Amino acid sequence: MWKNRNVWIILIGEFIAGLGLWTGIIGNLEFMQALVPSDFAKSLILFAGLLAGVMVGPLAGKIIDSTSKKRVMLISGFGRMISVVFMFLAIEYQSILFMIIFMIAIQLSAAFYFPALQSSIPLIVKDKDLLEMNGVHMNVSTVSRIAGTALAGAMLVIMSLSSLYMASMVAYGILFLLTFLLNFEEPNQNDSLEGKNKKSGDFKEVLPVLKETPIALTVLILTFIPFLFIGGFNLMVINISEIQDDQTIKSWIYTIEGVCFMIGAFAVKRISNDNNMVPLMFFFVTLIAISHLSLYFADIKWMTLFSFGLFGLAVGCFFPIAATIFQTKIPKEYHGRFFSFRNMLDRVLFQVVLLGTGLFLDTIGLQMMAIVFGMLSLTLILIYGLRLFRQPVAVAEQKTP
Q: Which domains does the chain have, with CATH numbers?
A: 1-183 (1.20.1250.20), 202-401 (1.20.1250.20)
- Residue 83: pLDDT over 80: yes
Mean pLDDT is highest, among 202-216, 259-273, 284-298, for 284-298
- Residue 169: pLDDT over 70: yes
- Residue 63: pLDDT over 80: yes
CA–CA gap between residue 153 and residue 391 (Å, rounded): 52
pLDDT of residue 288: 92
Is the torsion defined by CA of 359, 360, 364, 365 positive or negative?
negative
Angle at 391 between CA 390 and CA 392, to 5 degrees: 100
pLDDT of residue 96: 86
- Residue 196: pLDDT over 60: no
Q: pTM for the complete prediction?
A: 0.69
**Which of 176, 181, 177, 179 has the alpha carbon at shortest distance from 83?**
176
CA–CA gap between residue 206 and residue 330 (Å, rounded): 9
pLDDT of residue 317: 87
State the Rg of the chain over Cα. 22
pLDDT of residue 19: 79
pLDDT of residue 80: 86
- Residue 151: pLDDT over 60: yes
Phi, psi dihedrals of residue 125, rounded to the nearest 5°: -115, 160
Mean pLDDT is highest, among 167-181, 199-213, 259-273, for 167-181
- Residue 6: pLDDT over 90: no
Which region among 74-83, 129-138, 187-196 has the lowest average model confidence (pLDDT)? 187-196
Which region among 149-153, 164-168, 230-234 has the lowest average model confidence (pLDDT)? 149-153
Mean pLDDT of 213-219: 82
Q: How far is CA 86 from the centre of its chain?
A: 25
- Residue 306: pLDDT over 90: yes
Q: Model confidence over 219-275: pLDDT tens digits?
A: 888 888 988 888 777 778 778 878 888 767 776 887 788 788 888 878 887 877 766
Average pLDDT value for the chain: 79
- Residue 90: pLDDT over 80: yes
- Residue 24: pLDDT over 60: yes
**Which of 328, 297, 335 has the alpha carbon at shortest distance from 186?**
335
pLDDT of residue 371: 93
Q: Model confidence over 359-371: pLDDT tens digits?
A: 888 888 888 989 9
Higher pLDDT, residue 305 or 345: 305
DSSP 116-181: HHHHHHHHHS-GGGHHHHHHHHHHHHHHHHHHHHHHHHHHHHHS-HHHHHHHHHHHHHHHHHHHHT
Mean pLDDT of 278-302: 89
